[in-house]
């Protein structure tokens, strides 16, 4: 039987590894004074295909569940549409289902029970009268500058932004009330929206919520986060093993640099937390680097700090680090690929949510137009063309005469 965690232990687990916590006292009061499970929601807009960065929030969902929290996953389909139409309405419901199946597959692959996880599709309640009225009320207290600033790190920024980009952060704030949660969880890129919610929900007569923020996982390039909209910065959850190796081999990985290194960041934010979850031990870590004997043979690390130190000192070379990380990612993705291969609903959701683009038809070569002789240089071209035609006609006539002469000669010989 699992020993019941104390309120302080639950809070420590809920906030473990986070970059920032806003209004943590709200969560403490629920645990200590109200003595009930903390209700937390994490929202994701189903736009591009989920990538390996999604392992990071999955680890936190596992922490929340282990701490006895009631966790809601919001599949924010309308948000995906509002974000510069990243997901057209005709496919957004399929993408929402695809995201749900990806989240379940990831959690199952790292041995997290999903029975107490609740999935809610945004459009199931965001079109109702009460919700829409709250949206009107919120739009009456938030300026367009505040709304634009709140969504600056989340909503796609364009030169002439659509009004939908201003609605997006207002809805995310209102969701906290309509999902009846104590706290919202997300990446640190959501911070401005979280602050907008804290500052303005009381104006609608609603309470403030706590906010929990993960660090953003760096992408495979130099700087920037792993993003669904940048195929070169990410590895998809269903990426083929050979493509994983290809992307990792081309990733930015400066010798000795551990601070601006997406591969080491992946080990820190994904691999080690998953190893800790699976083993139940703090600082658990396992990475095997399978090198040929002529390059030193097998390397095994059971300490992330030791790996970092070796990389700083040049004892671990970039090609070897890339090889180990590629193998680890393929190991993590293998059960998810297997789940996809065996689940027809999963396959249909992907096919309908991300239909293959029809091949572009090649344009027919245009025939040169006869421009006549009135354009600059046309008279000369026309004369040249006319002369060429006359020469061709003359040659044809000469050939015809020669044929006639031969025919006459033949007749005379026969006689």
Domain parsing of the chain, residue ranges: 7-214, 241-345
Task: Report the greatest alpha carbon distance in the chain.
Answer: 131
Determine the pLDDT at residue 401: 45
Rg (CA), the chain: 32
Determine the pLDDT at residue 378: 53
Determine the pLDDT at residue 153: 81
Helix (H, G, I), strand (E, B) or coil at 18: coil
Is the model's pLDDT at 386 over the cut of 70? no
User: How far from each other are the two terminal CA atoms of the chain, in whole angstroms?
Assistant: 124
Is the model's pLDDT at 370 over the cut of 90? no
- Residue 365 — pLDDT band, cuts 50, 70, 90? low
Which has more confidence, 205 or 162?
205
CATH number for the domain running over 7-214: 3.40.50.620
Q: Per mean pLDDT, which range of 54-58, 286-290, 400-404 is the poorest?
A: 400-404
Determine the pLDDT at residue 375: 52
The tokens of 293 are what?
Answer: 């004997």
Determine the pLDDT at residue 358: 61
Determine the pLDDT at residue 156: 74
| Beta-ladder partners of 70 | 39
Strands across the sheet containing 183-187: 20-22, 210-214, 183-187, 39-44, 70-75, 117-121
In whole numbers, what is the pLDDT of the chain averaged over residues? 86
As a whole-number percent, the residues of the chain with pLDDT over 90 amount to: 66
Rounded Cα–Cα distance for residues 185 and 194 (Å): 9
Render pLDDT for 13-69 as a digit per residue (tens, 0 to 9).
999 999 999 999 999 999 999 999 999 999 999 988 999 999 999 999 999 999 999
Which has more confidence, 186 or 86?
186
Is the model's pLDDT at 413 over the cut of 60? no
Rounded Cα–Cα distance for residues 41 and 379 (Å): 77
Render pLDDT for 160-200 as a digit per residue (tens, 0 to 9).
778 888 999 999 999 999 999 999 999 999 999 999 999 99
Determine the pLDDT at residue 396: 56
Q: Can you identify the CATH homologous superfamily of domain 241-345? A: Tyrosyl-Transfer RNA Synthetase (1.10.240.10)
Determine the pLDDT at residue 414: 42
Helix H or strand E encompassing 73: strand 70-75
DSSP state of 377: T
The tokens of 249 are what?
Answer: 């081999």
Determine the pLDDT at residue 164: 87
């Amino acid at each position: 039987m699992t020993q019941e965690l104390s309120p302080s232990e639950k809070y420590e687990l809920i906030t473990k590894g986070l970059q920032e916590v806003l209004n943590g006292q709200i969560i403490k009061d629920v645990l200590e004074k109200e003595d009930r499970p903390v209700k937390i929601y994490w929202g994701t807009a189903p736009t591009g295909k989920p990538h390996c960065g999604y392992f990071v929030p999955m680890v936190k969902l596992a922490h929340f569940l282990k701490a006895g929290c009631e966790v809601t996953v919001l599949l924010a389909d309308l948000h995906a549409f509002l974000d510069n139409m990243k997901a057209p309405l005709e496919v957004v419901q399929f993408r929402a289902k695809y995201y749900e199946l990806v989240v379940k597959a990831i959690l199952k692959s790292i041995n997290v029970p999903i029975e107490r996880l609740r999935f809610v599709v945004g459009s199931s309640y965001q079109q109702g009268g009460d919700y829409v009225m709250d949206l009107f009320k919120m739009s009456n207290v938030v300026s367009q500058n505040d709304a634009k600033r709140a969504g600056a790190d989340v909503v796609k920024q364009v030169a002439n932004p659509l009004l939908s980009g201003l609605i997006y952060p207002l809805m995310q704030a209102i969701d906290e009330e309509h999902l009846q949660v104590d706290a919202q969880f997300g990446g640190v890129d959501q911070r401005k929206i979280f602050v907008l919610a804290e500052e303005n929900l009381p104006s609608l007569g609603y309470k403030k919520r706590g906010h929990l923020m993960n660090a953003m996982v760096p992408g495979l390039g130099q700087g920037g986060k792993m993003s669904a909209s940048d195929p070169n910065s990410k590895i998809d959850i269903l990426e083929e093993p050979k493509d994983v190796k290809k992307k990792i081999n081309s990733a930015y990985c400066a010798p000795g640099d551990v601070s601006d290194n997406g591969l080491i960041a992946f080990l820190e934010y994904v691999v080690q937390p998953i190893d800790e979850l699976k083993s139940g031990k703090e600082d658990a870590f396992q990475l095997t680097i399978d090198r040929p004997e002529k390059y030193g043979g097998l390397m095994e690390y059971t300490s992330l700090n030791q790996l970092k130190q070796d990389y700083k000192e040049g004892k671990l070379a970039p090609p070897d680090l890339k090889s180990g990380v590629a193998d680890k990612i393929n190991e993590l993705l293998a059960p998810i690929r297997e789940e996809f291969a065996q689940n027809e609903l999963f396959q249909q959701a992907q096919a309908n949510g991300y239909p293959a683009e029809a091949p572009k038809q090649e344009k027919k070569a245009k025939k040169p137009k006869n421009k006549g002789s009135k354009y600059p240089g046309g008279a000369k071209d026309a004369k040249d063309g006319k002369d060429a035609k006359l020469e061709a006609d003359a040659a044809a006539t000469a050939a015809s005469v020669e044929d006639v002469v031969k025919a006459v000669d033949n007749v005379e010989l026969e006689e």
